[in-house]
Amino acid sequence: MSNPNIRVRFAPSPTGPLHIGGVRTALYNYLFAKKMGGTFLLRIEDTDQARYVPRAEEYIIDSLKWFGFLPTEGPGMGGEYGPYRQSERKAMYGQYATQLVENGKAYYAFDTPEELDAKRDAEKAKGNHNFRYDNVTRNEMKNSLTLSAEETQKRLASGEDYTIRLKVPVGETVTFTDLVRGEVSFETNELDDKVLLKGDGMPTYHLANIVDDHLMKISHVIRGEEWLPSTAHHILLYRAFEWEATMPQFAHLPLILKPVGNGKLSKRDGAKFNMPVFPLAWEAEQAEDSFLGFKEFGFLPEAVINFLAFLGWNPGTEQEIFSVSELCEAFSIDKIGKAGARFDYDKAKWFNQQYIHAAETQRLAELVRPLVAAKGYEVSDEFLVSYCELMKDRVVLLTDFIETGNYFFEGVTTYDDQNISKRWNAEVKTSFESLIGIIENATDFNAESLETAVKNFIQENGLKMGTLFPLLRIALAGTMKGPDVFKMIELLGKDDTVGRLQKAVEYFDNL
């Protein structure tokens, strides 16, 4: 069921790697579009040349690709409302800004950044800590409202740098209904005359955003709460353009907060808490600006999606595990919470564990393959699949597959000495060596037969499982932890198993 009237966009700035809050914004937009049968598009807001980072746009798209919620319109993706990169729309914004000046809704301002800084400092010195360029102070600044028409024309003609500022009306109340917060209002007397067009001819976020959302027929603006205060300006802009009738609806998402401490989640929290805050790895010139992502930490994309979906939203039922398609079905804006949500890494890991348990073993093996290769281990595909099957219940992250089960690949490197010395003695050794013989001579080398054979041996000799099993386990794995001993033996194969057991006897003796 498709609905051409529902169009939403994800509009990031390519200033660096896309952080996890941005991913969640993209996700909510995607889910909303899917739920409503609408369109989800990507728009790159690259109007700040100073902060532009070349690789960032590619990173954003790679990330969306990894999660599997790629927009259907965007740079390099087609769509009839392009271009979808704002830098490529530069000329258009200038025209719209000029139109606003002609209609008396905006004005030229000639104050240089230095002059503005000086003005702010001067006001601060006078005890005024909140100078703003507003409907009062504009009368004392250098702009087309205070300058004569001739002077303005002269400055424009001379090529002097100028900005175009929104002429915020006096004494009005701007009220709108936010889809998550309800009615919100602002007094225009508290609002500053935002710069619409910068000295370099580029639009600011405010202008570009409104023009593009209008031209791209955006029906719902779903974005972070940091944009709530500027929404008043945006509404004023829609009015100035006389686009209010088709103005999109707004939904401001609660922010994602630090796991502990004050403030919103930042990129530095990743290093601080040893957890990912970006979807994919990002390589920067400075080591401190380089990061590993959720992917490299060993997360499955759908687990991250499920986790993120629940950071600020819930379905109102007790179901927690949702596939992406279930999420699309269940999603609704009115279930989005209002308060900021702390980033809970433990919960993220729990989601991942749940998804790994439920994942096809074949797929896990494919994901683990490159990790195994990176370690230099050489194993067959059959081995890897069986190994993943054996380990998937005791793994939280994909990287755990090579860490907690490393002895499968490289043999036993360290033994649990304490548990050995507690159990090892001459008598036990005799039984243990008989046990090796049984394994060595086993004709049906599979877990079930081996278990029967070993248990029979134990019973016939009046031994206890508790004396031999732990030693068997330690001999094979070095540790008391791990999967079923007989399944381990089957996977390791006869030669490897017997080799490990013999090596262990020697080690146990010398302990």
Partner RNA sequence: GGCCCGUUCGUCUAGGGGUUAGGACGCUGCCCUUUCACGGCGGAAACACGGGUUCAAUUCCCGUACGGGCUACCA
Q: Which residues are catalytic?
A: 267
Cis peptide before 259 (omega within 30 of 0): no
Nearest to 13 by CA among 152, 165, 208: 208
Assess contact for 145 and 166: CB atoms under 8 A: no
Taking CB under 7 A as the rule, does residue 132 contact RNA? yes
Taking CB under 7 A as the rule, does residue 341 contact RNA? yes
Contacts of 382 (CB under 8 A, 6+ apart): none
Contacts of 22 (CB under 8 A, 6+ apart): 10, 12, 60
**Token pair recorded at residue 335:** 């279930």
Assess contact for 267 and 275: CB atoms under 8 A: no
Place of tokens 């290093």: 271
Place of tokens 């910068």: 198
Taking CB under 7 A as the rule, does residue 230 contact RNA? yes
Q: What whole-number distance in Å separates Cα of residue 139 and Cα of residue 412?
A: 80
Type and span of the H or E element at 163: strand 163-166
Residues 97-116 interacting with RNA (rule: CB under 7 A): 111-113, 116
Scanning 7-15, 276-284, 359-367, 381-389 for contacts with RNA by CB under 7 A, the matching segment is 7-15
Type and span of the H or E element at 407: helix 406-410
**What is the signed CA dihedral for 19, 22, 26, 31, rounded to 10 degrees?**
100
Taking CB under 7 A as the rule, does residue 174 contact RNA? no
Residues 379-408 interacting with RNA (rule: CB under 7 A): 393-394
Taking CB under 7 A as the rule, does residue 81 contact RNA? no
Q: Which of 155, 239, 264, 423 binds RNA (CB under 7 A)?
A: 264
Scanning 143-151, 199-207, 325-333, 438-446 for contacts with RNA by CB under 7 A, the matching segment is 199-207
Report the length, in residues, of the chain: 511
Q: Which of 338, 375, 422, 503 binds RNA (CB under 7 A)?
A: 338
Nearer to RNA, 145 or 255 (CB): 255
Taking CB under 7 A as the rule, does residue 250 contact RNA? no
Q: Which of 123, 192, 296, 366 binds RNA (CB under 7 A)?
A: 192
Q: Which of 421, 484, 493, 509 binds RNA (CB under 7 A)?
A: 484
Taking CB under 7 A as the rule, does residue 184 contact RNA? yes
Q: Kindly state the number of chain residues that form the binding site for RNA, as judged by CB under 7 A.
A: 82
Nearest to 328 by CA among 71, 23, 34: 34
**Token pair recorded at residue 246:** 């088709």
Least distance to RNA from the beta carbon of 167, Å?
15
Taking CB under 7 A as the rule, does residue 182 contact RNA? yes
Q: Which of 28, 69, 186, 383 binds RNA (CB under 7 A)?
A: 186
Least distance to RNA from the beta carbon of 181, Å?
4
Q: Which of 298, 301, 312, 478 binds RNA (CB under 7 A)?
A: 312
Alpha helices in 331-446 (DSSP H): 345-358, 361-375, 381-391, 400-403, 406-410, 417-421, 426-440
Residues 431-460 interacting with RNA (rule: CB under 7 A): 451
Q: What whole-number distance in Å separates Cα of residue 166 and Cα of residue 243?
A: 16
Taking CB under 7 A as the rule, does residue 470 contact RNA? yes
Angle at 426 between CA 423 and CA 429, to 5 degrees: 70
Q: What whole-number distance in Å separates Cα of residue 105 and Cα of residue 232?
A: 15
Taking CB under 7 A as the rule, does residue 172 contact RNA? no
Least distance to RNA from the beta carbon of 376, Å?
25
Angle at 403 between CA 397 and CA 409, to 5 degrees: 130
Q: What whole-number distance in Å separates Cα of residue 496 and Cα of residue 477?
A: 12
Taking CB under 7 A as the rule, does residue 159 contact RNA? no
Q: Which of 176, 243, 415, 469 binds RNA (CB under 7 A)?
A: 469
Scanning 61-69, 90-98, 262-270, 498-506 for contacts with RNA by CB under 7 A, the matching segment is 262-270
Assess contact for 381 and 395: CB atoms under 8 A: no
Ramachandran category for residue 225: left, alpha or beta (phi over 0 → left; psi -120 to 50 → alpha): alpha
Taking CB under 7 A as the rule, does residue 127 contact RNA? no
Residues 46-75 interacting with RNA (rule: CB under 7 A): 47-48, 51
Written as one string, the DSSP assignment of 59-77 is HHHHHHHHHT---SBBTTT
Q: Which of 440, 481, 493, 503 binds RNA (CB under 7 A)?
A: 481
Scanning 271-279, 289-297, 482-490, 491-499 for contacts with RNA by CB under 7 A, the matching segment is 482-490
Taking CB under 7 A as the rule, does residue 473 contact RNA? yes
Scanning 33-41, 191-199, 242-250, 433-441 for contacts with RNA by CB under 7 A, the matching segment is 191-199
Nearer to RNA, 78 or 337 (CB): 337
Taking CB under 7 A as the rule, does residue 13 contact RNA? yes
Nearer to RNA, 357 or 422 (CB): 357
